[in-house]
Structure 1
Amino acid sequence: MSLTRAHRALRLRSRLETRLLTLSIVLTALVAASGIVIGLLSGSMSILFDGMFSIIDAVMGMVTLTVAKLLVSEGNRRYQFGYWHFEPLVLGLQSCVLVLLYGYAFFNAVMAVLAGGTEIEFGLAVIYAAVVAVVCFAMYLVERRANARIESALLGLEAHSWLMSGLITSALLVAFVAASAMKGTAYERYVPYVDPAILAVLALLLLPIPLLAARRAFAEIFGITPPAYDADVREIVAEAVGRYGFASFTSYVAKVGRARFIEIYIVVPPGHPIRDIAEFDRIRHELGDAIGDPGPERWLTIVFTGDPSQT
């Protein structure tokens, strides 16, 4: 693929990514507003938490959309390597906010259980949970299908967020229906504990997800080399070095968001038969093709030198 075609494909991907993120923000804002209103009217801590979760998701969605637009813009003298580093920063920030939100929700739920539970209006709660669950799963399927083509970490996180929201709301729906069925039975005294209990359980179950996402994001922020990618690059270069009779090589690999930075230094021994610049360029292109994924997201530098100290 030529660089021009790669840029064109990147712009097309960005437009699809932008449209889906914009739709996601609008729907998230509507879900947030309805969640807060229904949560206050019904007295449900779980629905109120769902609304607050959606507000944070909408705000982070706007940040995500801004970053998505930056990623396809050209760098400048200040950001000469582009804006790729903003992607893991956004993912890390969103993950940290979700960790705090889940922790706060768990603490409030436990306090409510210890205080004797909460009385809620289950009719409103069931309608809200049913409608929102359908919206969440529909958005998850749409974004997941689109992301299978464009492979955007930002859109992937957004799709994952819709899945989590759908699972949360579905669990609330099951709990609300079960609590409604418990009224008028021997288990009615447990009904006030259903809402805070399900919130506490959901918060604990969901907490590992943003923790893992934060770990991946901070690994990129701190420049930790992906072991598998590093091994692939070293294997490709080692084969070429052996085949062409070069002395040694050193490679450096980093992944920042969707960008990949690769630097390769190959030591050419004294008296090596290859002296023509065109031949070195051919080998350079050969290595680039073997590494794969050409385009603006890959920064590949291959240096041939006769001085081992330069590696």
Structure 2
Amino acid sequence: MELESKTLVYSAIIALVLSMWGISMGVYTESGAIMLDGVFNLLSAVMAFIGIRIAYLTSQNYNDRFPLGYFAFEPLMVMVKGISILVLVAFALSANLQTLLAGGREPQIGMMLIYVVPAVAGCLLAWYLCFLSNQRQPSNLLLAEQQGWLINSVISGAIGVALLIVMLIQDSSFGWVARYVDQILVIVFSIIFLKDPYLLVRNGFKELLLSAPDAEHTVPFKKALSQQPLLAGFSLGEVLVMKTGRRFWVTIELVCQQPQLAVADMVAQRKQLRAIANQYYDNNYSEIVFIEACRTGHTS
């Protein structure tokens, strides 16, 4: 948990610095693309600071108010971040379409190029930190941060490439294109990256509704269970897997084939199945339910 929190702090600080740089340069150059980049960084900073608090909450014990813990806060924040990005993109599209239809705006190419280099460097640094941390400690929060920084790096880099192209053609017969470059960049970026915030919203919403996780999280585990020899008197029933943030909730039904079974066998079988769940899910709560012929009800 310490690694995740530290990474989110670093990410938030970098995002805050880049947002101040981007918004100030966006106002000075009147560039919609730079302003979009700056506001996106400000949003990333706010969400990263919130993520630090959520990372702390998910490490706490259960209580009477939250008997299943705080794990649902994680997909909730991921979903809110995705919605916020979609709203930001919608406003950016609207404003820049109006400017484009009104005849564009002459860009301050020199100042915009000055903005690009530190912006790209900062985004790549933050992305790399999130990538390394997510490799060592997988987390939805870190993955969302990593995806956000990747988007931001591409946007900032593309701004620089487009400006270099404009510098090459501005004295040619295509020089008139320069007035529209800024608006075209924002519109193209907005359309290209609609998929990522949409996936954040969709995945967060699925987890809040306790929908089954993707096959990559369930198929290997269920396959291992089906191949695991069980103790005499037991057979595998239904297997349910749910995911809420970093916590997996596993329910395994064991069918008792005999009317009477030793408690020691039931305990041993439960330990065996929980050990398999622990191999596939670092953070999980597993419940083993004994059904049918066994009259002891269920245990967990």
> Could you tell me the TM-score, scaled by structure 2's length?
0.90
* Aligned equivalent of 1:109: 96
Comparing 175-184 with 236-245, greater Cα deviation is found at: 236-245
- SS at 1:74 equivalent: coil
Match of 1:300 among 272, 278, 286: 286
Deviations 1:102-133 (A, max 9, x none): 12212222211111001221111101111110
Distance 1:177 1:240 in 2: 60
Tell me: CA distance 1:183–1:236, structure 2 relative to 1, closer, same or farther (3 Å). Answer: closer
* Aligned equivalent of 2:28: 41
CA contact (8 A) 2:242 2:249 kept: yes
In the alignment, does 2:250 pair up with 1:262? Answer: yes
Match of 2:142 among 155, 169, 179: 155
> Could you tell me the TM-score, scaled by structure 1's length?
0.87
- CA shift for structure 1 position 247: 5.9
Deviations 1:131-170 (A, max 9, x none): 1101111221122112111111111111221111110000
Q: Which has the higher helix share?
A: 1
In the alignment, does 2:276 pair up with 1:276? Answer: no
CA contact (8 A) 1:241 1:248 kept: no
- CA shift for structure 1 position 74: 1.2
Distance 1:198 1:224 in 2: 37
CA contact (8 A) 1:241 1:247 kept: no
Tell me: CA distance 1:296–1:178, structure 2 relative to 1, closer, same or farther (3 Å). Answer: closer
Deviations 1:250-278 (A, max 9, x none): 33321111101112232323445xx3222
Distance 2:153 2:115 in 1: 12
- CA shift for structure 1 position 283: 1.0
Distance 2:12 2:145 in 1: 10
Tell me: CA distance 1:308–1:220, structure 2 relative to 1, closer, same or farther (3 Å). Answer: farther
Tell me: CA distance 1:91–1:161, structure 2 relative to 1, closer, same or farther (3 Å). Answer: same
The amino acid of 2:96's aligned partner reads A
- SS at 2:46 equivalent: helix
Match of 1:132 among 119, 132, 138: 119
- Written as runs of structure 1 = structure 2, the 5 A alignment for 1:8-27 is 14-27=1-14
Tell me: CA distance 1:93–1:75, structure 2 relative to 1, closer, same or farther (3 Å). Answer: same
CA contact (8 A) 2:222 2:239 kept: yes
* Aligned equivalent of 1:175: 162
Consecutive unaligned residues of structure 1, counting only runs of 5 or more, are 1-13
CA contact (8 A) 1:43 1:119 kept: no
The amino acid of 1:154's aligned partner reads L
Distance 2:145 2:222 in 1: 34
Distance 2:264 2:88 in 1: 58
Match of 1:95 among 82, 95, 99: 82
CA contact (8 A) 2:277 2:284 kept: no
The amino acid of 2:257's aligned partner reads P
The amino acid of 1:158's aligned partner reads E
Comparing 298-307 with 60-69, greater Cα deviation is found at: 298-307
**Equivalent pairs, count:** 296
Distance 2:221 2:293 in 1: 22
In the alignment, does 2:218 pair up with 1:252? Answer: no
The amino acid of 1:278's aligned partner reads A
Of all paired residues, the percent bearing the same amino acid is: 25
- CA shift for structure 1 position 231: 4.5
Consecutive unaligned residues of structure 2, counting only runs of 5 or more, are none
Distance 1:230 1:190 in 2: 51
The amino acid of 1:263's aligned partner reads T
